[in-house]
Amino acid sequence: MNLTTRIFKIIVIGDSGVGKTCLTYRFCAGKFPEKTEATIGVDFRERLVEIDGENIKIQLWDTAGQERFRKSMVQHYYRNVHAVVFVYDITNAASFHSLPAWIEECKQHALGTEVPRILVGNKCDLQDSVQVNTDLAQQFADAHSMPLFETSAKNPNSQGDRNYGNSDHVEAIFMTVAHKLKSQKPLVLSQPPEVAGFSCLIKGSM
């Protein structure tokens, strides 16, 4: 019997308002939060999943998009990171144009190229307000060797131009990252098993 639980630390970064809190909440709590406030420092959510008979704890570090709320915490985000999720808002071109700066921040904190990265375009339910088309985002993703996912934390079943037909797409995105990490060589962090299911720390305002 396997008594250890591997922990995967995944940081979620991108401009303020792109939906990082909503995406992480969707994955950990299974729903869209009724109300969110700007993240201060970092919020931390986690969910226990089982992959191929092994317990995996997926820790999502929801980082503040606003510079003034990041400064003091930023060093902590980047310690022992297993994967990075870059998020932009498909209805906000500026959030897409900020991506190089977020990639640079990772580089500044010595995140190696071996750390898997994915790109997520959020808010696909708002198809009438698209400012970043899929082809442009795909070119960027290809140039940085990242897979691209377009989704909606609000309605993960939203039908967009392409790729959005899968049910609970947000779930599939984070599980894809977890599967990728599991297939890599064993990681050092482990801890005794906890109660089955998931636990989730959420902001007081929700």
Give the per-residue contact string, 26-55, with ligand GTP (x = CB under 6 A; - = no). Answer: ----------x-xx----------------
From 6, 57, 82, 123, residue interacting with ligand GTP (rule: CB under 6 A): 123
- Is residue 121 at the binding interface for ligand GTP, with CB under 6 A as the rule? no
Exactly one of 10, 21, 140, 160 binds ligand GTP (CB under 6 A); that residue is 21
Stretch that binds ligand GTP, among 11-19, 47-55, 135-143, 173-181 (CB under 6 A): 11-19
Name the minimum Å distance from CB 179 to ligand GTP: 23
Does residue 19 interact with ligand GTP by CB under 6 A?
A: yes
CA atoms within 13 A on the CB side of 202: 22
Closest separation in Å from C-beta 168 to ligand GTP: 13
From candidates 10, 18, 58, 118, binder to ligand GTP by CB under 6 A = 18
Task: Indicate whether 160 belongs to the interface with ligand GTP (CB under 6 A).
Answer: no
Q: How far is the CB of 8 from ligand GTP (least distance, A)?
A: 20
Binding status of residue 83 toward ligand GTP by CB under 6 A: no
Question: By beta-carbon distance, which residue lies closest to ligand GTP?
Answer: 65
C-alpha count within 13 angstroms, C-beta hemisphere, residue 155: 10
Spatial CB neighbours of 44, under 8 Å, sequence gap ≥ 6: 59, 60, 61, 62, 201
- Using CB under 6 A, which of 66, 133, 139, 199 touches ligand GTP? 66
**CB within 8 Å of 61: residues ≥ 6 apart:** 9, 10, 11, 12, 42, 43, 44, 77
